Amino acid sequence: MEHTFDTPSRDYELVRSTLAFLTENWREQPSLEELSERTGVGPHHLQKVFTRWAGLSPKAFLQALTLDRARELLRDSASVLDATYEVGLSGPGRLHDLFVTHEGMTPGIYKAKGRGLTITYGFHASPFGTALVMTADQGLCGLAFADDGGEAAALADMQSRWPEADYVEDHIATAPVAKRIFSQAKWNPEQPLRIVFIGSDFEIRIWETLLRIPMGKAATYSDVAAHVGKPSAVRAVGTAVGKNPISFVVPCHRVLGKSGSLCGYHWGLTRKRAILGWEAGQMARH
């Protein structure tokens, strides 16, 4: 399983390990010099490589990781979901948000567990670890993350959702999609990323609601339940959020507990904190 991206693999591994370390140890506020000593890479080179990958310096990322401000993310969350956004766009039109158009796969495909569907997949480097990108003719249908050595498990997890589909590994075919997702320069409202949902009607309604949560905001499970007209179905909403097959692009990481707690995340709380911290850093730059 080959990982492809513009940056050499050693630079990718440097950034991945540094990002994970900062995410776990942000309360200690490690300095650039301490990070340099830990990685065995000069501070200037570390700063340069990290900034190129993450779009902000290690210090800026560290500041953004102070997620005690999680309650601030939840401010006005219900009204955020009720606001009217441009049809098909994720978020309120910010230049640094990821724009998408979306549709749902036919109910028959879902009920047949993907039978008759061909899914192309590939593994690619990303700021948040190895990304498994999955596409169908209609567009992006899956995005998962894997830690080192966990690629096979991540693939098996995604394949279990649509066990009757045909799977073809082709990282060359999925590479342009990975670049669209993780390269902010390609986040263009004039050329939105096409995604396709494969799930039950209820799950698709939940995932569509997640697209309404803009970068720099968050919603609670209760907010999402109320928005879809099922205020008492918070547990079912939580299950649907957890089954979101298109992580990062469909921002299930922006759903928090009532108190601002991070709660669960299918791809790990460390990664959820890292993504929220990365987004906070991007917000600070604009």
The one catalytic residue in 252, 274, 275, 280 is 252
Residues 66 and 61: their CA atoms lie apart, in Å, by 9
Contact 161, 169 (CB under 8 A): no
**CA 283 to centroid of chain Cα atoms:** 16
Q: What are phi and psi of 246, to 5 degrees?
A: -120, 75
Residues of 40-73 as b/e, b for ≥16 C-beta within 10 angstroms? ebebeebbebbeebbbbbbbbbbbbbebeebeeb
Two tokens, residue 138: 């209609």
Cα–Cα separations (whole angstroms), residue 82 to 10, 76, 115, 226, 237: 44, 10, 36, 10, 17
252 part of the active site: yes
Q: 3-state class of 51 per DSSP?
A: helix
Q: Give me the residues paired with residue 152 across strands.
A: none
d(CA 101, CA 209): 13
Known catalytic residues are 252
